[in-house]
């Protein structure tokens, strides 16, 4: 296994080791190599273009070269790569050269697992809410003076980075399920936010993705530790049927279980007196005791659930409960997580939502945050297989908006085989009876320039354009703005 090979190759850690990252501008890999750099590794990187994450690497003093060339790995002792790169371009010059020279080529998650192994690992997993919950948990630990190391899959606004390179004993990370990426992590504590069917291009069924989570949980660190180390603990969302199903599959698991819930009164962490009007606020209840009133700066019922998850995990690692309400109130969110951009008499919302459930939640949050205004859902599907498999749920979610615009599909790690076109989603939304009943109109936007032009044409005072997708769809915001 890659993790065993890395541990054998770098028994004393990565300090002074030469590591080259291919496709380093990605959200996750940039965090992994930045943390290795903070631990003393000599990092070089390459990618086909610059971007937000490339900027973060440059700011950290990590050189980034544009383009690919075998010379990039001439002095490397290890090459790390994003899984998507190996799926799309397994024969990149650096990868071919590294293999020919006997240089290990591993996914960046294997490197992150190596870095975590010297700390007490706390991983946040689930098909929704991973990034925000990871950042919230890191924030709680930082406010408590624990100075954890934190890795997040996107930019945390407070840090202007996707990492916090701490010196404390906890290592908090976002654990991604696609391609079994989380198998490289063996945390002491896991937060399980949501388990449901996703990644149809990789997992053939709900049972397959559920079993991937089960395997991850079985790989947790359950060894005997000193009394000052928390016991192996799963912090589980008691409102998620998939999470509870996953827990049942574990059988006689030797660790502890903590629960959080918006619905169940017997959960270890819960929210009461929830407000969802001009603010998202709640009373935090831990172990049956009211801790205090929490006023979040990030809107939505899902963010209240994320805050509960973070609070429950923070309680396990020893964050004082009385510090939690104030710390949670400072969280400004992640980039592209319901980011509000005002443009004169209209509002744009930039959101990463790319799963039907997340799209529905984002539109619902916009309704609550902007009552009485026209909500226009602007959505770019990612992956042909995802849209094909989830066509009906996507249509159902988008039909909750007043109008809908669908941009061309973002292929990501796939190629277009003619499986489906974005117009199929437009037609499916238009057929929804609830959408037709309120006079909704669904349109196909085309490429991003064409979609932006359509938004300009549609523009009416008071509109809220909710721009969603995991691809570059948010580029339409800048193109469609008046300024």
Is 396 within the bounds of a domain?
yes
Cβ atoms within 10 Å of 196's Cβ, excluding its own: 18
Is 114 within the bounds of a domain?
no
Residue at which a domain ends, from 285, 302, 328 = 328
Round to whole Å and give the CA distance between 147 and 141. Answer: 7
Dihedrals φ, ψ of 20, to 5°?
A: -110, 135
pLDDT values of the chain reduced to their tens digit, one per residue, 483 residues: 577 778 888 999 999 999 999 988 888 899 999 999 999 999 999 988 766 678 888 888 898 899 999 999 999 999 999 887 877 788 899 999 999 999 999 999 999 999 999 999 999 999 999 999 999 999 999 999 999 999 998 889 999 899 999 999 999 999 999 999 999 999 999 999 999 999 998 999 999 999 999 999 999 999 999 999 999 999 999 999 999 999 999 999 999 999 999 999 999 999 999 998 777 899 999 999 999 999 999 999 999 999 999 999 999 999 999 999 999 999 999 988 999 999 999 999 999 999 999 999 999 999 999 999 999 999 999 999 999 999 999 999 999 999 999 999 999 888 888 999 999 999 999 999 999 898 999 999 999 999 999 999 999 999 999 999 988 999 999 999 986
Residue at which a domain ends, from 82, 109, 136 = 109
Cβ atoms within 10 Å of 60's Cβ, excluding its own: 17
Is 333 within the bounds of a domain?
no
Burial class (CB in 10 A: 0-12, 13-18, 19+), 84: middle
Return the pLDDT at 249. Answer: 97
Residues 137 and 268 in one domain: yes
Q: What residues make up the domain containing 10?
A: 2-109
Return the pLDDT at 52. Answer: 66
Domain total of the chain: 3
Residues 217 and 275 in one domain: yes
- Do 221 and 232 contact (CB within 8 A), yes or no? yes
Residues 97 and 133 in one domain: no
Round to whole Å and give the CA distance between 116 and 452. Answer: 43
Residue at which a domain ends, from 51, 78, 109 = 109
289-296 and 280-286: which strand pairing?
Answer: antiparallel
């Amino acid at each position: 296994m890659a993790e065993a090979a890395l541990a054998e190759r770098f028994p004393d850690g990565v300090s002074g080791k030469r590591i080259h990252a291919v496709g380093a501008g990605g959200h996750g890999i940039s965090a992994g190599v930045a943390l290795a750099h903070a631990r003393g590794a000599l990092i070089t990187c390459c990618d086909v273009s610059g971007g937000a994450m490339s900027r973060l690497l440059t700011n950290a003093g990590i050189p980034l070269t544009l383009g690919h060339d075998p010379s990039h790995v001439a002095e490397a002792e290890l090459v790390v790569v994003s899984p998507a790169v190996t799926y799309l371009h397994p024969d990149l010059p650096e990868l071919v050269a590294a293999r020919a020279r006997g240089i290990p080529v591993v996914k960046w998650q294997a490197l992150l697992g190596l870095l975590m192994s010297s700390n007490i690992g706390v991983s946040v997993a689930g098909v929704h809410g991973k990034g925000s919950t990871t950042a919230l948990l890191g924030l709680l630990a930082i406010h408590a003076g624990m100075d954890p190391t934190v890795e997040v899959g996107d930019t945390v606004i407070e840090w202007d980075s996707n990492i916090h390179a701490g010196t404390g004993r906890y290592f908090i990370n976002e654990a991604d399920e696609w391609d079994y990426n989380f198998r490289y992590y063996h945390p002491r504590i896991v937060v399980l936010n949501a388990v449901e069917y996703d990644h149809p291009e990789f997992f053939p069924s709900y049972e397959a993705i559920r079993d991937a989570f089960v395997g991850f949980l079985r790989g947790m660190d359950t060894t005997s530790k000193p009394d000052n180390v928390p016991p192996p603990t799963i912090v589980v969302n008691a409102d998620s049927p998939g999470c509870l199903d996953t827990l049942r599959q574990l059988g006689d698991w030797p660790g502890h279980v903590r629960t959080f819930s918006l619905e169940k009164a017997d959960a270890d962490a819960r929210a009461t007196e929830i407000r969802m009007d001009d603010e998202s606020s709640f009373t935090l209840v831990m172990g049956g005791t009211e801790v205090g009133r929490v006023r979040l700066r990030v809107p939505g019922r899902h963010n209240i659930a994320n805050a509960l998850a973070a609070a429950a995990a923070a309680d396990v690692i020893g964050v004082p409960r009385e510090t939690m309400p104030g710390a949670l109130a400072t969280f400004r969110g992640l980039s592209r997580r319901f980011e509000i951009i005002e443009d004169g008499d209209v509002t744009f919302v930039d959101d990463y939502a790319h799963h039907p459930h997340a799209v529905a939640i984002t539109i619902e949050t916009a309704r609550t945050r902007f009552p009485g205004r026209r909500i226009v859902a602007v959505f770019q599907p990612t992956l042909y297989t995802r849209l094909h498999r989830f066509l009906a749920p996507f249509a159902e979610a988008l039909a909750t908006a007043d109008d809908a615009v669908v941009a061309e599909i973002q292929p990501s790690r796939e190629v277009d085989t003619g499986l489906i076109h974005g117009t199929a989603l437009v037609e499916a939304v238009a057929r929804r009876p609830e959408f037709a009943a309120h006079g909704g109109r669904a349109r196909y936007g085309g490429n991003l320039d064409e979609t932006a032009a359509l938004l300009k044409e549609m523009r009416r005072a008071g509109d809220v354009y909710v721009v969603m997708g995991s691809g570059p769809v948010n580029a339409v915001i800048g193109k469609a703005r008046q300024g």
